[in-house]
Structure 1
Amino acid sequence: MCRQLLAQLREKYEEIEREGYQVIAVAPSNASFIKEFLDAFGPYPFEIVGDPDRQAFKAIKAKRPAKIKLLTKVILGVITRKLKNIIPKDEQQAKFVKKSMTTQDVYIQGATLIFDEDGKLLWKHLDESPEKHAKVNQIFSVIKS
């Protein structure tokens, strides 16, 4: 799960609701791991559901870059200090992040999808890599149009 995007959506949730939309986050994890995430980073005003078998991720054709490519990006990002706070300073959050790096599918990338009330797909953004998530201003440009 992209912690930064979830945090931004949490901050803007009331505005999203006023536009007539709701947020549902899907994580490639089981319910107990999502609870650990919420204990460390929550609460959130929207539901975070699990997809441990990655069925939703497969259906949207989520990207999965080569492990070596992502690991190289992370190492370079840490060395050049472009990836700050990859491990949070908060002890509980840091413990969770370290655990997720060793036990979860951190290679599968996410997506942002916006549907209308009839279930018609209005917009889709497939993440190419961890730093290329949809931006909140992109989301608002779709829901406010």
Structure 2
Amino acid sequence: MCRTYLTQLRERINEVEATGYQVVAVAPSKGSFIKQFIEQFGPFPFPILGDPTRKAYRGMGHKTMPKWKLLAKAGFGFITGQVKDFIPKNEKQKDFVIKSMKTQDVYIQGGTWLYSAEGELLWKHIDESPEDHAKIDDVLQQMKKR
């Protein structure tokens, strides 16, 4: 679960809702893990659902980044200072993030999908890497087009 992207959505939820869309987040985790995430980083004004088998993720074309590539990116970002707040300063949040890195599929990449009220796919962005999330401004622009 990308806490930064979800935090941005939380901070801009009024703008999203003003377009007539609603946010539903799906995480490749069990409900019990999502509950722990929400306890540490929530609350969120939208539901976060689980896809522990990753069936939906795979079916929608999401990618799993090779472990070596993700670790190399993280190491480079840490050394160059490009990765900030990778590990939270808050002890409970820090413990949760470290536990996540050990027990969850942190290599699977997410995406952003826009659907009509009828379920028609209108737009999508599949992340290629952790920093490749759709920008909230770009998502809002797509929402306003529809």
TM-score (norm 1): 0.98
C-alpha distance in structure 2 between counterparts of 1:104 and 1:87, whole Å: 16
C-alpha distance in structure 2 between counterparts of 1:19 and 1:124, whole Å: 17
C-alpha distance in structure 1 between counterparts of 2:28 and 2:17, whole Å: 25
Aligned-pair CA distance for 1:103? 0.2
Amino acid at match of 1:23: V
RMSD: 0.7
What is the SS of the residue equivalent to 1:144? helix
C-alpha distance in structure 1 between counterparts of 2:11 and 2:116, whole Å: 22
Aligned-pair CA distance for 1:77? 0.7
C-alpha distance in structure 2 between counterparts of 1:106 and 1:21, whole Å: 28
Other-structure match for 1:128: 128
**1:111-138 CA-partner distances (Å, limit 9, x unpaired):** 1000111111111000000011111011
1:60 aligns with 2:60: yes
Q: Which runs of 5 or more residues in structure 2 are unaligned?
A: none
Other-structure match for 1:49: 49
Q: Which runs of 5 or more residues in structure 1 are unaligned?
A: none
TM-score (norm 2): 0.97
Instruction: Give the 5 Å matches for 1:20-35.
Output: 20-35=20-35
Aligned-pair CA distance for 1:61? 1.0
Other-structure match for 2:100: 100
**How many residue pairs end up in the alignment?**
145
Aligned-pair CA distance for 1:14? 1.8
Aligned-pair CA distance for 1:105? 0.1
What is the SS of the residue equivalent to 1:5? helix
**1:21-48 CA-partner distances (Å, limit 9, x unpaired):** 1000000100110010000000000000
C-alpha distance in structure 1 between counterparts of 2:138 and 2:118, whole Å: 21
C-alpha distance in structure 1 between counterparts of 2:12 and 2:78, whole Å: 29
